[in-house]
Amino acid sequence: MNSSSRHRRLTAAALTAMAVTLTATACSSGSGSADTKGAGSGTYTVWDPYPQFDKTSAWAKLLDGCGTKAGVKVKRTAFDTSDLGNKTLLAAQQGNSPDVLIVDNPVVSTLAEAGVLTTTGDNKLDTSKVDPNLLAAGLTGAKTYGTPIGANTLALYYNKKVLKAAGVHIASVKDWTSLTAALAKVKEAGKKGITFSAIGTEEGSFQFLPWFWGAGAKLTRLDSPQAVSALSLWKNWLDKGYAPNSVLNNTQTTSWQEFAGGDYAFSENGTWQLAGADKAGFDYGVLPVPAAAGGNAAAPTGGEFVTIPVQQDTGRYATAQKLVSCLSDSHNLLDTDTTLSYVAPTSEVQDKQVAANPELKPWVDAVKAAKGRTSDDLGTTYPKISEQMWKAVQSALSGSKSPKDALTSAQSAAK
């Protein structure tokens, strides 16, 4: 890509679409800038959303090692995920982009459409081993921008003791009908059914999407019969007491805290709760979210892409490509994704993860069925669709509108 791409106008849509960021971690201040003394030598800047990892961490040491291998010094700056997209847009406007950018996958299309990122065709990144459903999150306008460093997604944690006391065999839970029947048995046994996050933010949309997609609905038509059936499922669970009214305000963290109390049979949550699950003090299992008629529903992918921003000095791309290739090679991916609690983006490394830890098998299955929120070439239209989705969920679960009316209003507003 030639340097004139940097001066493409950064649109208002690009700025507002930063609201799709999902993960929130501790803030870290700082800035970085490209060393323009010469391509292939000197200092190369890397921005990432991992402020929880300091310079003594395995992640920081991996970056330094990749720099040494490429013959350069790496200057790393970590930002909170919610800040990183805006910081990147500002740096692009100032002609001061980092050489390598690691960014939450829904933001990739926003930055790409704003002219901030190079394509894998331009920068020669090899993505041939990456699972297509994960790579799709970085696809916009038939071009791919970057490569996923790892993925997480949603599944159902279940409390084995609660299910056993209710006479529920987890093998019987294969679709929505059997899951609802299991919730009824749990309630009859005096325990609680399922907890999730339906809060009026991106987290709420993120948690609703497996049910939405599991019904066969598409984000381009929020008011389809399939979409109505998914929202009706959640509403029915609240009406029957299978899910608590607290889901309306639950974040994924507070929802998890409810499950960790030990009274709930199920919790919809992600790989990032594995450490907490091990500390909860009860025997648990993990089940991919079932689709309406059976099989695994597509859950949304979380996780980051490693990208190469546009530079005025195009000679820097070759070394930046070496850094990204090092970060995403099979050996480093295994270590990195273990550190980040991610499922690897390639089948080769996924197999190694399962061999080392068989408990990851349901998560690998869930990731293989997962789908990027901006897939289907939605790009910067996704945030607007998502906002109307979570508003519809809130309206229906609170009882202010029926699921059908809520989604009809959402579709009209999303247009």
- Please state which of the ranges 2-11, 52-61, 230-239, 241-250 shows the lowest mean pLDDT: 2-11
Instruction: Identify whether residues 19 and 138 lie together within a single domain.
Output: yes
Confidence label for 116 from pLDDT (cuts 50, 70 and 90): very high
Query: Is 55 domain-assigned?
Result: yes
| pLDDT at residue 35 greater than cutoff 70 | no
What sign does the CA torsion over 224, 136, 268, 199 have?
negative
Instruction: Identify whether residues 100 and 126 lie together within a single domain.
Output: yes
- Please state which of the ranges 80-94, 206-220, 289-303, 392-406 shows the lowest mean pLDDT: 80-94
What is the extent of the structural domain holding 135? 3-151+302-368
Instruction: Identify whether residues 183 and 88 lie together within a single domain.
Output: no
Instruction: Identify whether residues 391 and 353 lie together within a single domain.
Output: no
pLDDT at 40: 61
Secondary-structure percent of the chain, ordered helix, strand, coil, rounded to 5: 50, 15, 35
Instruction: Identify whether residues 207 and 222 lie together within a single domain.
Output: yes
Query: Is 53 domain-assigned?
Result: yes
Cα 213–218–221 angle (5° rounding)? 140
Identify the DSSP state of 283.
Answer: -
| Residue 285 bridge partners (DSSP) | 158
Instruction: Identify whether residues 361 and 387 lie together within a single domain.
Output: no
Identify the DSSP state of 355.
Answer: H
Report how far residue 307's alpha carbon sits from residue 114's, in angstroms, rounded to the nearest whole number: 14
| pLDDT at residue 375 greater than cutoff 90 | no
- The residue-averaged pLDDT of 333-337 equals 87
Query: Is 235 domain-assigned?
Result: yes
| pLDDT at residue 26 greater than cutoff 80 | no
Residue type, 159: N
Which residues lie below 8 Å from residue 62, measured CB to CB, with a gap of 6+? 327, 332, 335, 336
| pLDDT at residue 46 greater than cutoff 70 | yes
Query: Is 90 domain-assigned?
Result: yes
Instruction: Identify whether residues 138 and 227 lie together within a single domain.
Output: no
Cα 194–195–198 angle (5° rounding)? 130
Confidence label for 4 from pLDDT (cuts 50, 70 and 90): very low
- The residue-averaged pLDDT of 28-38 equals 38
- Collapsing DSSP to helix, strand or coil, 44 comes out as strand
Query: Is 28 domain-assigned?
Result: yes
Residue given tokens 């609680």 in the structure block = 192
The two three-digit tokens of residue 387, written as one number: 């906002």
**Are 109 and 374 a contacting pair, CB within 8 Å?**
yes
Instruction: Identify whether residues 212 and 359 lie together within a single domain.
Output: no
Mean model confidence pLDDT for the chain:
89
- The residue-averaged pLDDT of 122-141 equals 93
Query: Is 373 domain-assigned?
Result: no
Give the CATH number, domain containing residue 15.
Answer: 3.40.190.10
Instruction: Identify whether residues 133 and 165 lie together within a single domain.
Output: no
pTM for this model (two decimals): 0.81
**Better pLDDT: 58 or 216:** 216
Query: Is 392 domain-assigned?
Result: yes
Query: How many residues make up the chain in this entry?
Result: 415
Instruction: Identify whether residues 258 and 395 lie together within a single domain.
Output: yes
What sign does the CA torsion over 370, 397, 389, 277 have?
negative
Report how far residue 118's alpha carbon sits from residue 3's, in angstroms, rounded to the nearest whole number: 10
The two three-digit tokens of residue 114, written as one number: 């704003």
Instruction: Identify whether residues 307 and 345 lie together within a single domain.
Output: yes
Report how far residue 209's alpha carbon sits from residue 289's, in angstroms, rounded to the nearest whole number: 10
- Please state which of the ranges 20-24, 66-70, 99-103, 124-128 shows the lowest mean pLDDT: 20-24
| pLDDT at residue 102 greater than cutoff 90 | yes
Query: Is 249 domain-assigned?
Result: yes
H helix intervals, 248-346: 252-260, 274-279, 317-327, 330-339
pLDDT at 80: 85
Structural domain tally of the chain? Answer: 2
Instruction: Identify whether residues 282 and 386 lie together within a single domain.
Output: yes
